[in-house]
Structure 1
Amino acid sequence: MIGYTDAPRAWWMTRGMARVAGVNLPQAVIDGWLTREELATIVARCEGCTCLSRCDSWLAGSGASKRMPEFCPNKSSIEALCPN
């Protein structure tokens, strides 16, 4: 299992955003679409984001949303991995 014990909140928030976009980050690493280093960069970017409470609220109410919010600093990196 790929996880980030030093940044668990950022890891789960990053995974949550990726799921909205239809991306399974651990599977993307396994399939070779993303390196562990690239994934670590994405998680670190989330950890350093100043919108954590906004992100928390957005994820809690995202429901059937299929698009990530514009304020997410990982939006372009994650959407580049979309299966579409």
Structure 2
Amino acid sequence: MYRRTYQKWSENFDRRMTIRRRVMNALGISLPRQMGDGIRETLKQTLISCATCDHVSSCADWLSLETAISEPPGFCPNKERFKALLKKR
């Protein structure tokens, strides 16, 4: 039972982190080789937020749109964090 629960949780987490990476890639956010504490903290907060987000399906749907992406979707709890990371490119 525990193994199945862990496996389900792990797969769910992996899916969420894959979507997070896809959003960052779609927005053109790349991680610098050396990160200061501000960037590191912002990235940590995006991990936590994506791991607990209620909009996983909406986010996946947004990513599947074949339009130019210039900013995070309005429903994204990381919208302002992603915008801040965009400014630090």
Please give the TM-score of this superposition, normalised by the length of structure 1.
0.71
Residue pairs, 1:43-58, within 5 angstroms: 43-58=47-62
Which of 59, 66, 71 in structure 1 is aligned with 2:70?
66
Structure 2 unaligned blocks of 5 or more: 1-9
Aligned to 2:7: none
Q: Is residue 18–residue 78 contact of structure 1 (8 Å, CA) maintained in 2?
A: yes
Alpha-carbon separation, structure 2, partners of 1:82 and 1:41:
15
Higher helix share: 2
Aligned to 1:15: 21
TM-superposition CA deviations, 1:7-31 (whole Å, max 9, x none): 211211111222232202xx23x33
Alpha-carbon separation, structure 1, partners of 2:56 and 2:77:
11
Give yes or no for the alignment of 1:78 onto 2:86: no
Q: Is residue 21–residue 79 contact of structure 1 (8 Å, CA) maintained in 2?
A: no
Identity %: 27
Q: Is residue 20–residue 68 contact of structure 1 (8 Å, CA) maintained in 2?
A: no
TM-superposition CA deviations, 1:29-70 (whole Å, max 9, x none): x331522x5423312211211111111111111532212111
